Amino acid sequence: MGMDLIALSENAAIGGYHVNFTGWGQLGDLLVELGCDVSSMTSGNDGDVVDATTATAWAEALTLGLTKGLIYQLKYPDPAFSSGWRNEFHVEGTKTPVLLSTHMYVEMLVNATMGADGSESSCHLDAPPEKVNITEAGDIYAWLRLVAEFFANSGGFEQW
């Protein structure tokens, strides 16, 4: 499941790009923190279009964030994920962060220490949220770079 992005460019080599729904949501949050307009980003697979101007702006914002080392990952315990950890993208110095709220953190603490029936659980929140820098050598950097390249070369795209 996910979002298929079909380039509007006439360059057949561009084609399309697939992003799973988790990655699509993370990209949306990241683009907001980078100051981008995400009003044309959709969660439905109905062919809505992101125009070339918007796609180019997204590419430029991602590229600048990566080259300046502004994008990082926040990793924190979340039993809802199979790994036991949730990962989010954030931007250094952003004025519009999509942050882990105090309410969410308290809820995580309660869920980690109490069972579903209210009894004490053997699970403990041993680690606070961890900031992980994204470097050129890493897989996340490479993935964000590929997404930025698709946005830059797509001529806009449909979301399916």
Which tokens go with 126?
């041993």
Show Cβ contacts of residue 95 under 8 Å, excluding neighbours closer than 6 positions: none
Residue 105, pLDDT score: 46
pLDDT category of residue 102 using cuts at 50, 70 and 90: very low
pLDDT in tens, 104-139: 444 444 555 554 455 444 444 556 788 999 999 899
Backbone dihedral angles phi then psi of residue 90, each to the nearest 5 degrees: -140, 170
pLDDT in tens, 15-30: 899 999 889 999 999 9
Residue 35 DSSP symbol: T
Measure the CA–CA gap between 25 and 41, rounded to whole angstroms.
10
Please give the C-alpha separations between residue 1 and each of 21, 44, 80, 82, 140, in angstroms, as whole numbers. 7, 11, 18, 17, 20
The domain segmentation of the chain, as residue ranges, is 3-98+130-159
Q: Which of 12-16, 91-95, 125-129, 144-148 has the lowest mean pLDDT?
A: 125-129
The pLDDT of residue 47 is above 80: yes
